[in-house]
Structure 1
Amino acid sequence: MRIALLLLGLLAFACDNKKCDPSPAGEACGVANPVENLVWLRDRITELKTNNAELAKYFYVQQSTYQGQTVFIFGNCCPFCDSIFLVRDCAGNTLDIASGSVDGATTVIWKAENSLCTFP
């Protein structure tokens, strides 16, 4: 059952074709707060918290760069899940890269209030 919920959560991160403007210094995807200001990202986080309330404590979103562009990594620290970490661009498109391929520092930009994940 938990695996099914996890898979449903991952499917909730469907592609969105909204485009973003290039980012000025200090901003990501042309906005100061991507979690609040990128509609597709805010919607995916809301879906994750709502549709997977029991598992939400294991999920997080990180921001990084890949080949000079801002990317968002949807990951989890679920101890009983076999997961693929999705990497998305500013428009919400899934990139065909592994989360370990990002070339910038990663910053956690969202995790559940009751998160069980720890970060260095």
Structure 2
Amino acid sequence: MKNSIYLILFFLIIGFACEEKEDPATACGVSDPIENLPWLKQWVSESTTSDSEGYSYIKQAIFKNETVFFWGSCCPNCDWGLVLRDCSGIEIEGDYNFENLKDQKVIWRPENSQCVFK
């Protein structure tokens, strides 16, 4: 009986250890979202031609266990609102703020960026 319990525990541990997880280097199933998600590539293109290019950036984060993206600005004299988009580029409706976003990371900023991130 004791051996059966150990055997069951062994298989449970192995079963959970073999769970497939998304590669942390990928987002939305691609290794480079800026290059591989057309809508995000368009966002970068639009940001590089705007007057506020040096203040623009794009971040990736986790919101409600899903990968999301948002465009931001560090312009000291500008106002902007937080708008989240999912992997398809669709705007996420609802109430959210920066505190709701986990694992934020900058995935794009221009070479002449004025933004400083900690």
Using the size of structure 1 for normalisation, the TM-score is 0.73
Q: In structure 1, what is the equivalent of residue 60 of structure 2?
A: 63
Q: In structure 1, what is the equivalent of residue 37 of structure 2?
A: 38
Would you say how many aligned residue pairs link Structure 1 and Structure 2?
Answer: 96
**3-state SS of paired residue (1:114):** coil
Quick check: 94-103 or 36-45, which moved more? 94-103
| Matched residue type, 2:115 | C
Runs (5+) with no aligned partner, structure 2: 1-20
**3-state SS of paired residue (1:42):** helix
Question: Is the CA contact (8 Å cut-off) linking 1:35 and 1:109 kept in structure 2?
Answer: yes
In the TM superposition, residue 105 of structure 1 has moved relative to its aligned partner by: 1.3
Q: In structure 2, what is the equivalent of residue 73 of structure 1?
A: 70
| Matched residue type, 1:56 | E
**3-state SS of paired residue (1:40):** helix
In the TM superposition, residue 103 of structure 1 has moved relative to its aligned partner by: 3.7
Question: Is the CA contact (8 Å cut-off) linking 1:73 and 1:99 kept in structure 2?
Answer: no
Q: In structure 2, what is the equivalent of residue 106 of structure 1?
A: 104
Inter-partner Cα distance in structure 2 for 1:30 and 1:80: 37
4+ residue segments displaced more than 2 Å: 23-26, 96-99
In the TM superposition, residue 39 of structure 1 has moved relative to its aligned partner by: 0.6
